[in-house]
Amino acid sequence: MLLTAPLTNLSLKTRKYWVLMSRGFLQNLQYSASHLINAVASAVFGIIYIYLWKSVMPPTGFGDYSYPTMVYYVSFNETTMWFTQFGIRCHVRIRDAVRSGNIAQELVRPMSFFLYTVAYEYGSMIYGLIFRGIPVGLMLSTIGFYLPKNPATWFWTLLALLLGCYIGIVDLYLVGITAFWTTEIRTVYWTVAMLSLGLGGASMPIEVLPAPVYGLARWSPFACLSFNPARIYLELSGAELIWPAVVWSVVLTLFAHRATELARRKLEVQGG
């Protein structure tokens, strides 16, 4: 009895986050037709990137990347960006809740507002991977798609993607929280979005960046979104690339909790 009670409480606490994930997933089902159009557009961009690289790459390639490797790199990222970057909407929901005043009700829920947001968004991103990302991968596989030879690579890639998705969500959660202090979050959003795409290696390996920028991108949280998972999946790097994502997940979580506390305090001081 003494052992089952804590397990039961843990089960109940975990279940509510699974419910939120399922709601985030199901919420997107009503937009399946438009999401299929997004997938086709993403595949078209992937084809453009592939043939662009074909025209500019030297015959011998560069570094670890030959032309076939670049095809695999682009195909993988165009598929997985629907899980780690594209489609995250938590910043918009937070902004709208602040503007409408509904944020007061959001913050009084008997659960962490931060974890509530992350769980809901994870469900949405799982939907994005299944109904947007995988169709893109199937379309691009007609040009080329890599399958890892080492079974362990699949595990490390999945872990890297889960952490990358978490970092992407927390990044935009922090963008949304700025709505407590600013009248518009678009500038912050576009800054973070451009850094995510540029320093994250979404359409190109970050090794092509100038050396100082590469050094910054290599150790930034943005590399954990696309570049690191792609390197692991293509078996160009190993499980060591998991550690930057773990460290950044912890750091960004601390920032998010602190920002939420400050936002709650601001709301209470203003009488919200």
Given a cut of 60, is residue 7 above it in pLDDT? Answer: no
Q: What is the pLDDT of residue 203?
A: 84
Q: What is the pLDDT of residue 252?
A: 97
Q: What is the pLDDT of residue 75?
A: 92
pTM: 0.89
The average pLDDT across 57-63 equals 81
Contacts 24+ apart (CB under 8 A), 90-94: 90/117, 90/118, 90/120, 90/121, 90/169, 90/172, 90/173, 90/176, 91/172, 91/173, 91/175, 91/176, 91/185, 91/189, 92/176, 93/117, 93/176, 94/173, 94/176, 94/177, 94/179
Mean pLDDT estimate for the chain: 86
Q: How confident is the model at residue 3 (pLDDT cuts 50, 70, 90)?
A: very low
CA-CA distance, 20 to 81, in Å (whole number)? 22
On whether the CB atoms of residues 217 and 199 are closer than 8 A, the answer is yes
Q: What is the pLDDT of residue 55?
A: 85
Counting residues of the chain whose pLDDT is more than 70, the rounded percentage is 89
**Residue-range domain boundaries for the chain:** 4-269
For 70-107, the pLDDT digits (tens) are 999 999 999 999 899 888 899 999 999 998 888 988 88
For 162-220, the pLDDT digits (tens) are 999 999 999 999 999 999 999 889 999 999 999 999 999 988 899 989 989 999 999 99
Q: What is the pLDDT of residue 4?
A: 45
Counting residues of the chain whose pLDDT is more than 90, the rounded percentage is 49
In degrees, rounded to 5, the angle at the alpha carbon of residue 13 between the alpha carbons of residues 11 and 19 is: 95
Q: What is the pLDDT of residue 130?
A: 87
Given a cut of 80, is residue 17 above it in pLDDT? Answer: no
Given a cut of 80, is residue 271 above it in pLDDT? Answer: no
Q: How confident is the model at residue 12 (pLDDT cuts 50, 70, 90)?
A: low
Q: Which residues pair with 65 in a beta bridge?
A: 62
For 18-55, the pLDDT digits (tens) are 777 777 776 766 666 566 677 787 888 888 888 888 88
